[in-house]
Structure 1
Amino acid sequence: MVDTSDDMHELGIRLGASLQAGDLLVLTGPLGAGKTTLTRGIGEGLGVRGPVTSPTFVLARTHPNLVGGPPLVHVDAYRLSEAIELDDLDIDYARSVVIVEWGRGLVDAIAPGWVDVEIERPTGASQSEVDGDVADAGDEPRRIRITRATAR
């Protein structure tokens, strides 16, 4: 369980510090679950240039690394319907850490393995719009499941 958005951010920092080029994470959860908050923390843990914001309207953003590590590629696949559309983004998976929000079912054709991160927030939890990002309106506990996944 992650109790607050600050805790979600801290989890991201710890995750980011352990990631390396070639790592692919797929984040799944409802609007306001904390996917972008987690990604901000991962970016901080990796040492990338920020701010890390939701790439909803541009589909993908690349954040260069400021400390000699891999860049972070942050993808919002919500509006994509097929894996080929994700592949068309021409992402350098081998030399980057890639996070794909809403990517479940799309990365199977692109990568042999990834880390699946599922975030559940309480039913009826509220959300608000902040600078184009759907942000947590309150600090409600989230359940997070992190598992290794492989292409079928």
Structure 2
Amino acid sequence: MEAVPHSQAEPGVQNLTITSPDQMRELGRRLAKLLRAGDLVMLSGELGAGKTTLTRGLGEGLGVRGAVTSPTFVIARVHPSLGDGPPLVHVDAYRLGGGLHEMEDLDLDVSLPESVIVVEWGEGKVEELTDDRLQVDIHRAVGDTADEVRRVTLTGLGERWANADLSVLSA
């Protein structure tokens, strides 16, 4: 996993190149060390980009119970902590068409203060939950050896992420 240089360093933004599913899981484990109860992480990327693999690593890093798998058909899964950390709420909003009002039955607003909530396909659906969130965009690279290569951009939004050192994720 390596940091991708960019011309202007933006505070709260980290660009990474991921070359394997194992590296994507490791990124999740490292990211888990930065997360705390009340954090919202929004994942975007095409099908097969690695969103669930990243979340699997987050679950490992947070030390939660249960296998982290795609919740596409159940919409959301709660993984309680095996220790004293926050539970992981993993949401797949792919099948949901509208905004937050369609997600009210999930009670994400109630769960957020004591949980880490990770939402796949959440754009336009969960931003109203909080101004503070971490946006993770995963893109497949284009080229001859691009099968496993992903470009990951992490963008911290709001006061919570204003001074977060995302560069630790590239170590």
The residue number in structure 2 matching 1:28 is: 44
Structure 2 residue 121 is matched with structure 1 residue 102: yes
Structure 2 residue 93 is matched with structure 1 residue 77: yes
- Tell me which protein shows more helix as a share of its residues: 2
The structure that has the greater radius of gyration is 2
For residues 26-61 of structure 1, give each alpha carbon's deviation from its aligned partner in whole angstroms, at most 9, with x where no partner exists: 000001000000000000000001200000010000
Q: Provide the identity percentage.
A: 57
The residue number in structure 2 matching 1:87 is: 104
Match of 2:140 among 121, 127, 136: 121
Runs of 4+ aligned residues of structure 1 deviating over 2 Å after TM superposition are none
For 2:151, the aligned partner's letter is: R
Gaps of 5+ in 1: 125-137
TM-score, with length taken from structure 1: 0.85
State the alpha-carbon separation in 1 of the partners of residues 20 and 101 from structure 2: 36
RMSD: 1.8
Structure 2 residue 72 is matched with structure 1 residue 56: yes
Moved more, 14-23 or 25-34: 14-23
State the alpha-carbon separation in 1 of the partners of residues 138 and 78 from structure 2: 23
The number of equivalent residue pairs is 138
* Closer, same or farther: CA 80–123 of 1 in aligned 2, 3 Å: farther
Corresponding residue SS for 1:93: helix
The residue number in structure 1 matching 2:149 is: 141
State the alpha-carbon separation in 1 of the partners of residues 104 and 154 from structure 2: 24
Deviation at 1:10, TM superposition (A): 0.4
For 2:120, the aligned partner's letter is: E
Match of 1:5 among 21, 32, 35: 21
State the alpha-carbon separation in 1 of the partners of residues 78 and 132 from structure 2: 21
Gaps of 5+ in 2: 1-16, 159-171
* Closer, same or farther: CA 39–88 of 1 in aligned 2, 3 Å: same
For residues 61-94 of structure 1, give each alpha carbon's deviation from its aligned partner in whole angstroms, at most 9, with x where no partner exists: 0000001100000000011122211232112001
The residue number in structure 1 matching 2:13 is: none
TM-score, with length taken from structure 2: 0.76
The residue number in structure 2 matching 1:42 is: 58
CA contact (8 A) 1:4 1:139 kept: no
